[in-house]
Amino acid sequence: MNLRLTDNPMELLQEIDACRLAMARLRRDGRRVGLVPTMGALHDGHLSLVRAARKMCDAVVVSIFVNPTQFGPGEDFESYPKTTEADLDACRSEMVDFVFSPKVSAMYPDGADMTSVHVSGLTEGLCGASRPGHFDGVTTIVSKLFNIIPADAAFFGEKDYQQLMVIKQMVGDLNMPIEIVGCPIIREKDGLALSSRNAYLSEVERMQAQCLNQSLMAACEKITSGQVVVDEIRDGIQKIILDAGPAEIDYIEIVDAVSLTPLPKIDRPARICLAVLIGGCRLIDNVAVDVPL
């Protein structure tokens, strides 16, 4: 299915009621709707989600909203990259039908922060351990978006793998009638995963950041060769990262691919996940691994 909803220009929606009316129109016309939730500062990783949505759906909606409730104290909410005009141009070029870009006051009017959505278990490790409350902010805003935009499918990148699994869990547990589609990580030519926060890196730090993907690829080679002991694999990843330059490692974990439970050895489908601060910029990455033959 790859039908353009209309030849009219992309429509920018900033009010919740207007967005609901537009979605009701799509529903009335029997259109399959794809939603791509973003915080803006769009890059080709985001646009790959738009392209996936376009292939699977009749109409594509992109939300652009920098969500304050998923940022902790001292994090970069105020300085998070905002490139509104470039984002809208990118959406137009990808034939997005609607962009929903509400104000914070619309999504969180006075008193609307008394309710939140919490997914236990999956949120306790990895990024959840060092960013308490982060995933409550994510699941709450995604729930709000799903209520405002009753899409048939929503598209999320695997770069934020923990987020993807948490949202899948939430949707299943709460019987939300929406398909969650995970899409592959999009990388630069040197392997660095695309991220809006890459803009924070200096030229030297950007070169250094190549070590993240290099360390993951080296770990995959070890696993393919038969190494299954997690501590030894983790030590190898850490050495490559620290040898590349000054860095603060938040975590390097090898976890069950579904439960995100840390593994002592690789005896099932797993995910190597890491978070590293380079020059004060927090970067995350991950790679899928399977039991070596």
Q: Which residues are catalytically annotated?
A: 46
- In angstroms, rounded to a whole number, what is the distance separating the alpha carbons of residues 160 and 145? 18
Give the separation between CA 173 and CA 170, rounded to whole angstroms: 5
Place of tokens 């006075």: 110
Q: Are 234 and 254 in contact (CB under 8 A)?
A: yes
